[in-house]
Chains A and B, each alone.
Chain A
Amino acid sequence: MRLALAIAAFVILIIHGLVFYDQFFHKWESYQTAYFDQARALAKTDTERAAVSGRKPRIEQTIVTTFGENRVDRCLTCHIGSDDPRFKEHAQPLRSHPFSEALGDRLLNGKWERRHKFSDFGCTVCHDGQGRGLETFYAHGEDHYWNDPLLGYVTQHDWRAEFKDKLKSTEFMQANCAQCHTEENFKSTPLVAQGRQLFFRKNCYGCHRIEGLSSGTLGPDLSEVGKKFKLDYLWESIVDPRANSKTSVMPQFKLSEAEIRALVTFLKSRRGINYSETSLDRYRATLAGKSTVGKVAQPGQPGAAATSVATASSVVATVPTAALGEKLINDKSCLACHKLGNQDGGVAPDLSFAGLVRDEQWFMEHFRDPRARVADSIMPSFGFPETDFLSITAYLKSLTTPPPFTSPAEFFKGTCARCHGEKGDGKGAIAVYLEPYPRDLTKAGFMNSKSDERLITSIKEGVAGTSMAPWGHVLNDEQVRSLLAYIRQTYVKDKQRPLKERDVPNTNPIAMSAESVTRGDQIFQQRCTGCHGKKADGKGPNSLDILPRPRNLHNADFLNATTDRRLFESILYGVQGTAMPPWVDYGLTKNDVGNLVNYLRSLNQNAQTTKTGNKH
């Protein structure tokens, strides 16, 4: 009992002692003492000596009220020699802050003068870090979950090792200069300017939105990306887009390390708000309905930013030419996604023969609105000037060398396999980016339920509303036949059986009428929405579990190119090799199907009237 009391008393004493020590003997106090001692030794005049004498260690803090939210900076508590030119050779934390022209410092009569006084700007405005922290760990923020770890100096312990050296650079500080110096070509932030240019030159703006700069919707909004993410994450997202998001469709751009650095710095500078705006400015800006961040183009006009930048860059086009188109295709990073010759972005269809299989009108409609012809295309709408589109079209049309057809196998390998896969299983390199997916040619159920004529038509005329191009412009009938034979023989394992004759009308016997459409709508809502979705866009609750995915029935090009007969057949007898069941087994009558077909046609009627010339 007494022993326990004695031990307890001692434990309490030790704990108290530790707390006491922790609270009274700080690192920063010893830094300050060291500073005072050395400053006293360095003092040459009485005034200098007097300035140090009598000073005792204490928390030095600056409260900065000028830049957005108030900041409390206690950095000078450790870095107490920051503004003492005599300490420029000392080791950190006492070393004085360097002077530099890039920071706006001026050399006057042999003496440097600071442009950004620490008492006005504090430290964290430029350096990031946690201004209130009094210990290295808390102040520099060496923690993955810290809001703003020190910019350009700290390497996180869990940062990817191969990025470590790249991320330790004072250059990244330009991202913070750009918080106040928003001018497009501010001379001290060349990296930010270069990054901004790259953002447009590499067509990032086509997919990403940045408030006041661009309005892409395909990729994440980057307006505040610098606030949310750290340098390593930004770097990684650019060099390895799928590192953090497995489903990312962002292509891997071939960028030099300097270019990545510029882009990372530019992105780090995007913080939604910036310090140079007071909250009042921000309020006024919201009232005026526009942002004051980035004064490149009028926000809200999708094409505006692109146009102004496109014309501002070296390409000032007046007459569309194929040569200009070639330059544009390369400059504008089309090949970051598409394939052309031996350059391959690995995301979007091969353009090498596009000029043979698509016509001018198709190209122009596709450029102006990528979803005009392929309903679910992921291609962003790039707001290039019309002359650029015409030039690209001219260039693509000038590529008239057809792919060599030495054998069906070679042709398949060189042309079809990129989508349909080397094994014909529909899992080609770019298949995941295509909507709808390429057919799985190994599915005997599907392949054997279709006549040769039907499949030959698909090869020759393409499949409207999808990425399947009309290869009849490249291959003659003989070659198409041998290609199909090759596919059947190589990929479809089961033997082809004679097709059952089916009792299907050639044209819809039910006349188109509002009543019929309503009836069709009712049936659709009862029977079809599980897969095709309430909106008939192919995104029903079951759709995710099904491959191939249910058709998007708003794909006007596809539906308009599909005959009544084929719709009847698909609905009544199902589509073998897919999840579409034979509805005749579930009690749908021909009249029901007629109403359904009318309903589907009505969905795409508007599109039908605005578009002409679907067939090639």
Chain B
Amino acid sequence: MAVGKPAKHAVEELTEGQQNRRRMLAWLSSVGLFGSAIISAISNLVFIKPRATYGAPNRFGIGKPDDFPSGTRIALGEHRVCIVREGDKLCAISTTCTHLGCIIAPSETGFACPCHGSRFDQDGNVTGGPAPKPLPWYALSLAPNGELEVDKGTEVGAGTYLKV
């Protein structure tokens, strides 16, 4: 390598204006990069969950309230939910066993699982067997077209009824 000229620039004093400009640029760069990073992070967190999947819909209509006369406990097999009506109060209780996910059937005392014998009372609380948690209740609402709508995406506390 040829011997170069002495690097004069390195030792040169920066004027105050130059320093300001450098500080400013560094600040702008970091705002840009950090901003991008934050937006990316938020996006990633949100997009990690799909907005729509091709499974059965979470929110579905199940018919008119009149289809469920007072005192009925009707299990809707395909939706895995049991509609209970007492007087003008309605609720929707899951029929998926909290143990290993079998489909449970309404029984005289509440619900019974055929797989490993879990039992639940009328409100879905565990009364026996291996099931670790009570059956969830789902939000039930009256759609504008007059149909009852179950939203399996929204759990509500046991004892939350829809009045019709």
Contacts and interface: CB of A to CB of B under 8 A. Distances in A.
Contact of B25 (A6, A81, A86): A6
B36 A5 contact: no
Contacts of A12: 32-33, 36
Contacts of B139: 54
Contacts of B146: 111
A259 interface: no
Interface string B125-164: 0000000000000010111111001000010000000111
B51 A58 contact: yes
B87 to A, nearest CB: 15
A473 to B, nearest CB: 74
Nearest to A132: B52
A59 interface: yes
Interface stretch (A45-53, A455-463, A561-569, A607-615): A45-53
A356 B162 CA distance: 88
A8 B28 CA distance: 10
Interface stretch (B5-13, B55-63, B98-106, B108-116): B55-63
B39 A48 contact: no
A47 B142 CA distance: 7
Contacts of A111: 146
Given A6-B29, A6-B32, A23-B43, A48 B57 contact: no
Contacts of B30: 9
B25 A62 contact: no
Contacts of B154: 54
Interface in A551-575: none
A16 B40 contact: yes
Interface string B4-38: 00000000000000000010011011111101100
A229 B155 CA distance: 47
Contacts of B61: 117, 119
B22 A2 contact: yes
A39 B57 CA distance: 22
Q: Closest 5 CB pairs between A and B?
A: A9-B32, A84-B144, A51-B141, A6-B28, A2-B25
Contacts of A402: none
A98 interface: no
A63 interface: yes
Contacts of B149: 51
Interface residues of B, number: 37
A86 B144 contact: yes
B39 A20 contact: yes
A85 B52 CA distance: 27
A3 interface: yes
B43 A20 contact: yes
A108 B33 CA distance: 63
A552 B39 CA distance: 76
Contacts of B45: none
B144 A83 contact: yes
Contacts of B56: 63
A218 B116 CA distance: 69
B145 A59 contact: no
A137 interface: no
Contacts of A48: 142, 144
Interface in A7-44: 8-13, 16-17, 19-20, 23-24, 39
24 contacts: A2-B22, A2-B25, A6-B32, A8-B32, A9-B30, A9-B31, A9-B32, A9-B33, A9-B36, A12-B33, A17-B39, A20-B42, A48-B144, A50-B141, A50-B142, A51-B143, A51-B149, A60-B59, A61-B57, A63-B57, A83-B144, A86-B144, A119-B60, A119-B61
Interface residues of A, number: 40
Contacts of B29: 2, 5-6, 8-9
B48 to A, nearest CB: 13
Contacts of B51: 58-59
A85 B144 contact: yes
A74 interface: yes
A359 B30 CA distance: 98
Given A51-B143, A117-B61, 9 more contacts: A8-B32, A9-B33, A13-B36, A16-B40, A47-B162, A48-B142, A61-B57, A81-B144, A85-B144
A62 B144 contact: no
A3 B33 CA distance: 14
Contacts of B25: 2-3, 5-6
Contact of B32 (A10, A61, A83): A10
Contacts of B164: 47
Nearest to A59: B52
Which of B26, B40, B43, B145 has its CB near the most chain A CB atoms (within 10 A)? Answer: B145
A3 B26 CA distance: 9
A72 interface: yes
Nearest to A17: B39
B43 A85 contact: no
Interface string B59-81: 11100000000000000000000
B127 to A, nearest CB: 31
A259 B8 CA distance: 91
A16 B28 contact: no
Nearest to B163: A47
B46 to A, nearest CB: 8
Given A2-B25, A72-B54, A50 B162 contact: yes
A2 B26 contact: yes
Given A6-B25, A50-B162, A61 B144 contact: no
Given A10-B28, A62-B57, A51 B142 contact: yes
Contacts of A58: 51
Contacts of B26: 2, 6
A83 B145 contact: yes
Contacts of A47: 141-142, 162-164
A61 B40 CA distance: 28
Interface string A387-403: 00000000000000000
A108 to B, nearest CB: 11
B31 A16 contact: no
Nearest to B61: A119
Nearest to A53: B141
Contacts of A16: 35-36, 39-40
A86 B163 CA distance: 21
Contacts of A8: 29, 32
Contacts of A51: 141-144, 149
A320 B103 CA distance: 73
B11 to A, nearest CB: 19
Contacts of B40: 16
Nearest to B153: A58
Contacts of A5: 25, 29
B79 to A, nearest CB: 11
Contacts of B32: 6, 8-13
A254 to B, nearest CB: 48
B43 A74 contact: no
